[in-house]
Structure 1
Amino acid sequence: MGKIVMSGPQNVSLDGVVQDPDGKEGFELGGWFTRFGGEDLAEWSKIALEEALGAEAWLLGRKSYEFFGERWRPRSGELADRLNSMPKYVVSSTLEEPDWDNSTVLRGDVVTEVAKLKRELDGEIVVPASHRLGRTLIEHDLVDEVRMVVFPVVLGAGERFFGEAPSTKPLRLVEARTIGDGLAFLTYEFVRNS
């Protein structure tokens, strides 16, 4: 059985904003990833590589799939080579022909398809940046772990990592460490009722 991990790593501001970290979506407060990560981004890159090497597969929503594919397909190097060669599953009702190597489109009911994928794969199924997909999976108790890198900035507005949820989802802190001088890398597990 696979383990679904929201990560990649998942980048959030101190107040939980995940919207437009690189500034390419046109959000007025976008671009905080490089502005407030600074020299710590070299250490962040090591975490990203570590996670990619440890993942069995990536699971993405369509927008994240297109964003990452456009960014990583033309690159080479250890991280790019891993991302380009690893199995990728994209949740989409409209994508016909995926254009990134080793990609499979999951159609139909997202909860059913992801539950099936979780039963079929062993190891970590990492959901990078796809916070809308992640919210759906969290709501249906399919996510096992959340890993986030907290950037030292309060944006005050923007789309949050966790949206409104119909029920409380308790988590347990598994690990906390500093990346560089200013970033916090936090790992939480969802607490399941026994």
Structure 2
Amino acid sequence: MPKIVVNAFLTLDGVMQAPGGPDEDRDGGFVHGGWQAPYLDDVGGRLVTEGIADADGFLLGRKTYDIFANYWPKVTDPNNPIATALNSRPKYVVSRSLDRVTWNNSSLIKGDVVAELRKLRQQPGRTVHTWGSTDLLQTLLKNDLIDEYRLFIFPVVLGSGKRLFGSGTVPVTLKQVESVTTGKGATYHRFERGGKPEYGQIGT
């Protein structure tokens, strides 16, 4: 059964909207697109490449699918591990508006999304990875469908924008299994599912 692994680029205050460029996602009048660019370096690039190459398949929302499908099929270098993985491996696209998906090895998830995702978790494979797909992540969070987080956290605070952990997030604990700091001050954290939170009282 494949684990669902969430990969996300986050500001320190949890914003994940439009890290890659000014016009990536202007929903809500967001004016900070491209905030990740000043922090890119070889260490971060290696971690992203390794993460994508590690995936058996990809779970994408419509906007992320559109961005990826408009770019990666044009990258045909057989020595590019990101292009090789994205272009050849299964892609499951969650959308209410799309009628079909044409990128190689893509399939559309419509209707009862949670039921379809539970079916997906019964298929063979190790991991299905999300990238971006903020709206889809809220569905995963509300239904406790996330097995692992791989979070890139950047030393910038924006104060507004779409965030990873929305109001419907189910309380859980996580176990950190890896942490890396890049040369430009970003940090990478890999967390596996723990259990339910435990509570106590400090002091007397």
Shared topology, TM-score over 0.5? yes
Shift in alpha-carbon separation, 1:155–1:106, aligned structure 2, 3 A? same
What corresponds to 1:23 in structure 2? 22
Q: TM-score, normalised by structure 2?
A: 0.85
| Cα deviations by residue, 1:15-41 (Å, 9 ceiling, x for unpaired) | 111111122134212210113x14x2x
Structure 1 residue 49 and structure 2 residue 49: aligned?
yes
What corresponds to 2:179 in structure 1? 176
Aligned residue pairs total 188
Distance 1:30 1:104 in 2: 29
Q: Identity, % of aligned pairs?
A: 38
Q: How does 1:99-178 map to 2 (within 5 A)?
A: 99-165=102-168, 167-178=170-181
Distance 1:154 1:110 in 2: 33
What corresponds to 1:76 in structure 2? 76
Contact 2:15 / 2:158 at 8 angstroms: preserved in 1? yes
Structure 1 residue 186 and structure 2 residue 173: aligned?
no
Distance 1:184 1:23 in 2: 23
> Which ranges in structure 2 are unaligned for 5 or more consecutive residues?
197-204
Distance 1:11 1:71 in 2: 19
CA RMSD between the two structures? 1.6
| Cα deviations by residue, 1:109-149 (Å, 9 ceiling, x for unpaired) | 11100110011132110011112211211221111011110
Distance 1:180 1:90 in 2: 34
The SS at the match of 1:12 is strand
| Cα deviations by residue, 1:157-194 (Å, 9 ceiling, x for unpaired) | 2111111126422222222111333110011122235x
Distance 1:114 1:149 in 2: 25
Structure 1 residue 97 and structure 2 residue 96: aligned?
no
Q: Give structure 1 regions of 4+ aligned residues with deviation exceeding 6 angstroms.
A: none
Distance 1:136 1:170 in 2: 18
Structure number with greater Rg is 2
Match of 1:13 among 11, 28, 38: 11
The SS at the match of 1:80 is helix
Contact 2:3 / 2:147 at 8 angstroms: preserved in 1? yes
Distance 1:168 1:58 in 2: 25
Tell me whether 25-34 or 103-112 shows the greater mean CA deviation: 25-34
What corresponds to 1:88 in structure 2? 91
Shift in alpha-carbon separation, 1:150–1:108, aligned structure 2, 3 A? same
Shift in alpha-carbon separation, 1:115–1:154, aligned structure 2, 3 A? same
Q: TM-score, normalised by structure 1?
A: 0.90
Distance 2:103 2:182 in 1: 30
Q: What one-letter code is carried by the residue in structure 1 that aligns with 2:129?
A: V
